[in-house]
Amino acid sequence: MLQEFCMDLKKRFLLKALTANLIVSEALFKNLVWSAEFSVEDRTYLYPEDFGAKGNGLIDDSAALADCLRVSILMKKKVRFKESAKYLCKQTISIVGTIKVNATGATIISNGNFLEVIDGAGSEWVGGLLKAASKPYTITYTQDWSIQREGTLGYGRMPFDNESQRINRDFLDQKIGCALVFRSSNGYALDGVIIKNVTTDYGNIIIAGFKNVIIDSCKIKGGAHMGGCAILNGTRDPILWGYKNRINDFEFARGYGHKISNSIFYQCRNNGLFLSGSENVVIDNCKFIDNGESGFKTAQYVKRSWTNTNCCCKNIKISNCYASGQGYDGFDLQNVFGSGEQVHIPSNILISNCISENNRRTGFISQGGGNFFVECISSNNGSHGLVSKFSRNVKMLRCKSTNNLQFFDGIELGLLGPDCIMEECSVVHNKGNGKYFLITHTINDSSINRKAGYSIRNKVQDHNKCDIDPRVIIIN
């Protein structure tokens, strides 16, 4: 009964938002269209100032921006924010339809989701700074992960949940994050959103229920949502506030065809880039720096009453990326975790020419069959260097792992599972506080009696510090 009531409220909200699109202030609309001073019909762009926006960062421009965007949808016009303008948004703007916005040089100021675009397939947003209205409580670290500075610094990142013993718990639940949201209103995938040249200062980009998403040349310093950029498909994960919010009423459709390139994701409260329920995705030339959880994280199936394996990703190509300073892992490519770990699903991730260093936990960690690591480098991470947990048909080619396990026990380079190949990889370990294996290559399946893996021309300092299953064929 409660669920039906909640769904009814959602339907009413969507109807209200749609109606608001159609019933814009009639007098205002007519004045704009037939004004003697100018005619919007003859112009390519609409400006928020046409609708009363002040753009001074002091007066709430929410209503003016809402009117501007709604009229742009009705008239199929593009919107341009004025350069150097500062638009304060104290209220969430919710609109239905496709928008095309050029915000280059402008600043949008808000602590939450300042704009929610519903069913806006084909939308485009170029430029602009998304800035939090409040200065969050943040921290910075020394190289050994001691807290260096904390307070309303204006830099650093909001503390993640693993800081509950060192930070006042009130600061673990800061709901600060100027969010630009594009979402579907149902379980069907919408086609296309383009985001380019956006900068954030404790702000986030969230896209839910889409295929063919393009994120390019963005600089994202993220707020307290799931990712500095979060692309949510095949899941009921909450759109806002990461792990701190209720699940969505329905499961967003699986997506495909995304491309994320030439962007930096840094000092995000949770993950730099978060991706769920997607396939045929390209991630190229991105940096992930000093994020609270992981630099790049794919969604993980964990058994819950509302979860399934639709959240898992596959067929991802990751190239020329760099990760450093994460509170957990540089690249977390596990598609299952915890209670879901006995479910073995192919991922077919190709990750090449990527570097992961100085993260508090692992450089690269994956679980998913068919993954292929080529010329990846891990160094000076707190625990493992590069490890594939139990998975079939995983390959590592010309990967290098150097001086990981700085604080915890673990493995420099590890393949766990049958029919995996490690070839021409090299490991060096001459400092670190953790107990370690240089290479671990095990089958982890007692039912397999045949030869079930290859270790080919790998270089290590000390073969006694390797754990290689006798069913693995060693070729020197």
Residue 294 lies in a domain: yes
Residue 307 lies in a domain: no
Question: Are residues 194 and 266 located together in one domain of the fold?
Answer: yes
- Which amino acid, 240? L
**Distance between CA atoms of 371 and 377, rounded to whole angstroms?**
16
Q: What is the pLDDT of residue 36?
A: 31
Region 50-72: mean pLDDT is: 98
For 27-50, what is each residue's pLDDT tens digit? 455 455 444 344 566 678 999 999
Residue 104 lies in a domain: yes
Residue with tokens 């930096």: 264
Question: Quick check: 4 pLDDT over 80?
Answer: no
CATH of the domain at 280: 2.160.20
Confidence category of residue 341, pLDDT binned at 50, 70, 90: confident
Region 295-324: mean pLDDT is: 95
How far does CA 203 lie from the centroid of its chain? Answer: 12
**Who contacts 91 (Cβ-Cβ below 8 Å, separation ≥6)?**
60, 62, 63
Q: How many other CB atoms are there within 10 angstroms of residue 394's CB atom?
A: 27
For 115-138, what is each residue's pLDDT tens digit? 999 999 999 999 999 999 999 999
Please give the residue range of the domain that contains residue 422: 321-475
Residue 8 lies in a domain: no
Confidence category of residue 292, pLDDT binned at 50, 70, 90: very high
Question: Are residues 358 and 239 located together in one domain of the fold?
Answer: no
Question: Are residues 287 and 431 located together in one domain of the fold?
Answer: no
Residue/partner pairs of 132-139 with CB below 8 Å, 24 or more apart = 132/176, 132/177, 132/178, 132/201, 132/202, 132/203, 132/223, 133/88, 133/109, 133/178, 134/176, 136/174, 136/176, 136/202, 136/223, 136/224, 137/171, 137/174, 138/267, 139/163, 139/167
Question: Quick check: 114 pLDDT over 80?
Answer: yes
Question: Are residues 193 and 147 located together in one domain of the fold?
Answer: yes
CA dihedral 431, 432, 437, 440 (to 10 degrees): -100
Cβ atoms of 428 and 395 within 8 Å: the answer is no
Residue 441 lies in a domain: yes
Question: Higher confidence at residue 18 or residue 471?
Answer: 471
Residue 38 lies in a domain: no
Q: For all residues of the chain together, what is the average pLDDT?
A: 92
Question: Quick check: 355 pLDDT over 90?
Answer: yes
For 73-100, what is each residue's pLDDT tens digit? 999 999 999 999 999 999 999 999 999 9
Strands 473-475 and 453-456: parallel
Question: Are residues 162 and 260 located together in one domain of the fold?
Answer: yes
DSSP character string of 4-29: HHHHHHHHHHHHHHHHHHH---HHHH
Question: Higher confidence at residue 168 or residue 395?
Answer: 395
Q: What is the pLDDT of residue 34?
A: 42
Question: Are residues 247 and 104 located together in one domain of the fold?
Answer: yes
Prediction pTM value: 0.92
Residue 282 lies in a domain: yes
For 365-398, what is each residue's pLDDT tens digit? 999 999 999 999 999 999 999 999 999 999 999 9
* Helix H or strand E segment including 147: strand 147-151
Region 195-215: mean pLDDT is: 99
Q: What is the pLDDT of residue 29?
A: 53
Phi/psi of residue 62, nearest 5 degrees: -55, -50
For 219-262, what is each residue's pLDDT tens digit? 999 999 999 999 999 999 999 998 888 899 999 999 999 999 99
Query: What angle, rounded to 10 degrees, do the helices at 2-22 and 62-75 form?
Result: 70
Q: What is the pLDDT of residue 2?
A: 40
Question: Quick check: 185 pLDDT over 80?
Answer: yes
Number of domains in the chain: 2
- In the chain the first and final C-alpha atoms are separated, in Å, by 66
Cβ atoms of 443 and 455 within 8 Å: the answer is no
Region 348-360: mean pLDDT is: 99
Question: Are residues 353 and 226 located together in one domain of the fold?
Answer: no
3-state secondary structure 308-375: CHHHCCEEEEEECCEEECCCCCCEEEECECHHHCCCCCECCCEEECCEEECCCCCCEEEECECCEEEC
Question: Quick check: 9 pLDDT over 50?
Answer: no
**Distance between CA atoms of 202 and 134, rounded to whole angstroms?**
9
Beta bridge partners of 74: none
